[in-house]
Every structure is written in structure tokens, then in C-alpha cells.
Amino acid sequence: MRVVSLVPSLTEAVAVSAPGLLVGATAWCTHPADLGDAARIGGTKNPDVRAVAALRPDLVIANEEENRAADLEELRSAGVEVLVTEVRGLAQAFDELDRVLVGALGLKRPAWLERAGAAWADVEPALPGGPARAVVPVWRRPWMVLGRDTFAGDLLARLGVRNVHAGHPERYPRVPAEELPATDCDLVVLPDEPYRFTATDGPEAFAHLPAALVSGRHLTWYGPSLEEAPAVLGAALRRALGGRAG
């Protein structure tokens, strides 16, 4: 098969599971480092639809949140088959990975997917002082945070972190800067994507809170990174909360 992926998570999942199937990927597809001869066809929000169609793919894999419906419809109008995933939590991520890799591509269920499932099945929240309440920004200028019904929020919940905006009616609400340093929080979780928060860009806005700087790939990607995500994220959270009283 000839596959084009418009989703970094799925690009990595396909490339690791069946090297050689990918003929196209976005500029944001950074893992694995070597995608061979896969053409770069623009971004997740602005793919070059003509370039994708010119690759003559048997299948384009996309995501309802990351990719624009208009681009996907244009691909279908050009005669391209498009499979659209929806991921709002960990269980759904595993189901969708199985649907793409086994159902659509006809692959044997990858060993990494089995190991990832086992890693998350064995997760036991082990934060010092018990469960923690957190604000989780994902963008700055304007500030945006994790709200309800998100994949990243589900991962954090399984690790013992309660998102204080989980009850917001929006999934990625904008929050005024003056409302961000919530007094009922134990920490702030700052991923390095989609906005690249760093030690010098982000924590200063939450000076009274410990800051957990975490890998955005492990928090927001659903692919081979899921295998090591519990350990990587858990370690970052424990470092940030190490001084919290039990």
C-alpha cells in the first residue's frame, strides 16, 4: 500500500510498524527521525492537497481534531480514500491504532502496541502527597488550557493529576491571564508542544506553583511513545511535586 499520514502520531505508528508504506507525511512529523523517501506535503492544518493526490496514495490517514474537514473533503473529491480517526482518551487511542494498523493496513498487531497497552494497564498513580490538582496550558498569547474530554487530560488523570479545567464546556478554552494562577492548584503542567514551554518561558507566570515541564510527544501523541509515556510523564510529575507534603 501507499500511505500518506497527516498526523504525526500516526506517521510514527505506521513508520515503526511497517517501514516503506509511507509515501507522504507532514512537516510536523518528526518521529522516527528517518522517514526514508516520504515526501513532505505541508502542515497538519495546511497540507498541499494537490501534492497529496499526486502521490497516488491508497489511503490517507487523518484526525478529526488535527486536520481540517475542508482539506479532507477536497481529497475525497479527488478520489482519494481518507480514514479519519477520533481520539479523546487512551482507550479510544488504542482502538483507533488497531483500526488503522490492523483493520485498514492489514498488519499484524505490532508488538509495541501490546507493550504500550501493558504499560498503561499497570499504571498506579504514585505522586508524593497523593492526587494533585493542576492547570495544563497548551498555548500562550493567548493562554489556552486543557479543558474537557481530551486525550492528554485522560493520561494525566491515570497518573494521578486532576485537571482543574476538566469541567469546562470547551475542550481547549482560552483563559484570561489574570485567572490562570489558580489558588486551588498543586502544580502547573507545561508540555513542550504544541507551544514550546521551557524553564524560562511559562513557569514565571505561575510563580507560586511547582512546574512540571513534560514531553509533549509523550503527553499528546498516540503511537509508539505510549509505551514509555507512563514512566517519562510520571518521573516529570514526581520531580515537580517532590517537596509536597504527604
In a domain, 40, yes or no: yes
- Residue 79 sits in the same domain as residue 139: no
- Residue 85 sits in the same domain as residue 180: no
Domain count for the chain: 2
Query: What range defines the domain where residue 129 resides?
Result: 125-240
Give 109's contacts (C-beta < 8 A, 6+ positions apart). Answer: 98, 101, 102
Q: Across all residues in the chain, what is the average pLDDT?
A: 94
Query: Which of 109, 140, 167 corresponds to the end of one domain?
Result: 109
Q: What is the CATH number of the domain that holds 84?
A: 3.40.50.1980
pLDDT at position 126 is 81
Which of 23, 58, 27 is closest to 44 using CA atoms? 27
In a domain, 165, yes or no: yes
- Residue 32 sits in the same domain as residue 102: yes
> Side-chain half-sphere of 86: how many Cα atoms within 13 Å?
2
Q: Are the C-beta atoms of residues 87 and 67 closer than 8 Å to each other? A: no
In a domain, 174, yes or no: yes
The model's pLDDT over 41-82, given as tens digits with 9 standing for 90+, comes to: 999 999 999 999 999 999 999 999 999 999 999 999 999 999
**Distance between CA atoms of residues 97 and 110, nearest Å:** 10
| pLDDT class of 207 with cuts at 50, 70, 90 | confident
- Residue 53 sits in the same domain as residue 149: no
The model's pLDDT over 110-132, given as tens digits with 9 standing for 90+, comes to: 999 999 999 999 998 889 889 99
- Residue 14 sits in the same domain as residue 94: yes
